Structure 1
Amino acid sequence: MTPISKTGESGEGLREEDPPEEAGPDRRFATTLARGLSVLRAFRTSDGPLGNQELSERTGLPKSTVSRMTYTLSQLGYLDHLRSIEKYRLGPAALALGNIARVNLPFLEIANPIMQELADETGTLVAFTVRDQLSMLYAHCWRPRAAATIWLEVGRKIPLDKTASGLCFLASASERECRGLRQEFVASGELTGDAFDSIVKRARQQLLSLGYTTSIGGWVDTINAVAVPFRSHEASQAFVFNCGDLSNNLTEARITEEVGPLLRRRVGDLEARMGQST
């Protein structure tokens, strides 16, 4: 294996602007590993190759830190370094991990025909989302074959506290998960503890009464969405399926009368196929 240097491809090493390695409240937490993973998470399906400056802007890390991360990740095969343009794209090791993750979520194969039929029937974008820090990540999408849909795509991150998927995750999360998320939101300055508690309370009430959560222009004024949680026996946290579209097509009334109940039934169909009906 090629020895890993302490400098990036442009010779940038540790500078005064690099954040220090801090033990933090959890001594088990590996900060350097977290920074490297944040670089990998910055890539989206619609991206071309990205340079260190773009990755720095997306991750919030200093460019010198990003330079060391991209060099190391490229040496390990997680990034492919395009030297002619000094940019990076995901490498074969990252792609292999993605394929392994999909194999370990076998319900997605079962979900495919169910969710594609739902997308065609409702004319909405149907998505499978997972939590990624304080966001929800679009991990798979089903688009209606006979209609255009909103621009969201696999790899896109949406706010945990303002979207139907995020609210659904919060509503179905355990008390332990909520305590951890509350601390993260407060530490980030995005929400106060009281604001977080209020959001979770409203989301839980809606999920309990309707079987789904909604966002009516809560994130983007022109987009409405509805979401239903799904728990697999093979995973420790909840996943979320949602339907979303422009508000002139997916009105609040249509969510209540048609799309919300239909999404809830389709997730129930998936649970039945998986042998885990509630």
Structure 2
Amino acid sequence: MSVESGGGTQAVERAMSLLVCFTDEHSELRISELCARTGLVQSTVSRMVSSLDRQGFLEQDERTGLYRLGPMAVTLGSIALNSNPLYRASRQSAQNLSQTTGLGVNLAELRDDRLFYLANFEGAKSPKSFTMAGRTAPLHATGMGKAILAELGDDYVRDYFTKGLVDAYTPHTIVDAATMERALQEIRNRGYATEVEELAFGRACIAAPIRGRSGRVVAALSMSGPLSELGLQGRQEELALTVIETADEISVALGFTVTRAPARRTTTAPKETAR
């Protein structure tokens, strides 16, 4: 590798390390904070921040002097979403479901042992002031995550539980592998997953898997909202049918063909074990 190409690669890596410092919790940062987070010296950070600012990847608040992600980051994120086949196949169906039910509707795929959100639409009964697109969430503590885990096989589930990924977010989070295996078998039998206050208090969701052309599960769809609005105890079967039908609609758009009525269309709600 030449000195020129090596230096270019290093510059790109350093620039990327600055951009990924920005998170939901720390969306605005000072130069000194970027130095601390990356380990780069102030002169290097200042030079790179100025370049990223000129190109629109960062912008500076005139009042506070803090930096945040700029409009070019939004542009690239939009291009990435619009070029994603799963997003394109599911966007309209998910949006329609949110409008008709008034609940939040979420779409996520598996990436690096976590859920990666591609889209969310918030209904009148479940408003949010932010988007979930681009965020991640744990598999074991979410309805969509468990809907995907149920299709990945016992070996994957066992490995997942031995990697140190299983944190308890509430007293209802499943943190025991044997308990999760029983919950996943129930999900396979009935064709959908639920999550009741396993990730956050006062929230619940019901989710179904999405299949690609080969029949392999590639993502999941969920309806979510406050416990009082979702009302799983009184209408779990009704909501399950709705989310399964929409997930199937998206699967068909992706090229999956249902040749027979699968067992997962059984929507009788047995005793809840995924708590």
Partner of residue 257, structure 2: 277
Q: Map of 1:8-47 to 2, 5 A cutoff?
A: 38-39=20-21, 42-43=23-24
Q: Could you tell me how far 1:34 is from its partner in structure 2?
A: 9.2
SS at match of 1:238: strand
State the superposition RMSD in angstroms.
4.4
Change beyond 3 A, Cα 1:121–1:96: closer
Structure 2: give runs of 5+ residues left out of the alignment: 169-173, 259-275
- Normalization by structure 2: what TM-score? 0.66
Unmatched 5+ stretches in structure 1: 8-30
List aligned pairs for 1:188-207, cutoff 5 A.
190=167, 195=175, 197-198=177-178, 200-207=180-187
SS of the aligned residue for 2:257 comes to coil
Return the match for 1:239 from 219, 229, 234: 219
Describe how 1:1-278 pairs up with structure 2 within 5 A: 38-39=20-21, 42-43=23-24, 49-52=27-30, 62-63=36-37, 65=39, 72=48, 75=51, 79-82=57-60, 84=62, 85-91=64-70, 94-131=73-110, 133=112, 135-144=114-123, 147-151=124-128, 153-155=131-133, 156-173=135-152, 178=157, 181-184=160-163, 186=164, 190=167, 195=175, 197-198=177-178, 200-233=180-213, 238-278=218-258
Q: Following the alignment from structure 2 to structure 1, what is the Cα–Cα distance between the partners of residues 28 and 176?
A: 34
Equivalent pairs counted in the alignment come to 240
Describe the SS at the equivalent of 2:228. Answer: coil
Task: Judge conservation of contact 2:207–2:221 (CA < 8 Å) in 1.
Answer: yes
Q: Distance in 1 between matches of 2:193 and 2:49?
A: 39
Give distance in 2, aligned partners of 1:202 and 1:172: 13
**1:63 partner letter:** R
Change (3 A) 1:180 1:92: farther
* Superposition deviation, residue 269 in structure 1: 1.4
**Structure of higher CA gyration radius:** 2
Alpha-carbon distance in structure 2 between the residues aligned to 1:239 and 1:171: 12
Change (3 A) 1:230 1:109: same
Partner amino acid for 1:65?
G
Contact 1:52 1:67 (C-alpha < 8 Å) held by counterparts: no
CA contact (8 A) 1:217 1:224 kept: yes
Q: With the length of structure 1 as denominator, give the TM-score of the two structures.
A: 0.65
Q: What amino acid does structure 2 have at the position aligned with 1:228?
A: A
1:230–1:32: structure 2 CA closer, same or farther, 3 Å change rule? farther
| Deviating more after overlay: 158-167 vs 171-180 | 171-180
Amino acid at match of 1:39: C
Amino acid at match of 2:126: T
Change over 3 Å in CA distance of 1:240–1:75 after alignment to 2? farther
Which amino acid in 2 is paired with 1:217?
E
Q: What secondary structure sits across from 1:241 in the alignment?
A: strand
